[in-house]
Amino acid sequence: REVPPEAYEVRAQLLVGLASVYEYQGRHRDKLALLEAAIDDAALAGDKKTLAHAHLLIGNTYGDLGEPGGREHLETALMLFEATDELWGIASSQNNLGVESYYEGDWNEALRRYGLALDGFVRIGDETSHATMLNNIAEIHSDQGHWDLAQQGFEGARRMWRASGFA
């Protein structure tokens, strides 16, 4: 009996949702198998948005575990989010690629990625993530010894977080 593509799409979406729950529970290793299955099912269904989210989450998972392999998934997520014009996903992928660059010691690339993410979050009105980008940029300025720029960024982030009720 043939399985309709919609079944793969629904299953992929459910697996990504469950993996998100595992993320909040800190069950990073447990979500890897779910996300691999979600990638397979989303690909079979031709569901680029769910496929992008699965790649984003698996990329983040490898980063959370301190294991290699995250960048490839994040680059794939970015490509898929761009293909579907999913602005939050584009900005989120840029942010996470910035984090990868930061920990690889490529602060210029991290600043570039954070700047692209910042522009995206501003465009969609996501003030909490906008503030997070200001904080990430300020962290690099602090690491570089640019204290005035760092202080401006940290204060701007704190002000936005407080205004949005996040902090």
| pLDDT of the residue at 5 | 79
Per-residue CA distances from 29 to 33, 161, 167 (Å): 8, 30, 29
User: Is 2's pLDDT higher than 90?
Assistant: no
Who's near 88: CB < 8 A, 6+ residues apart? 120, 124, 126
Which of 42, 2, 3 has the alpha carbon at shortest distance from 19? 42
Give the angle subtended at the CA of 58 by the CAs of 56 and 59, to the nearest 5°: 65
Mean of pLDDT over the chain: 95
The pLDDT of 82-101, averaged and rounded, is: 97
d(CA 114, CA 165) in angstroms, rounded, equals 23
The pLDDT of 3-7, averaged and rounded, is: 85
Q: How does pLDDT run across 124-142, given as a tens digit for each residue?
A: 999 999 999 999 999 999 9
Q: How does pLDDT run across 51-88, given as a tens digit for each residue?
A: 999 999 999 999 889 898 899 999 999 999 999 999 99
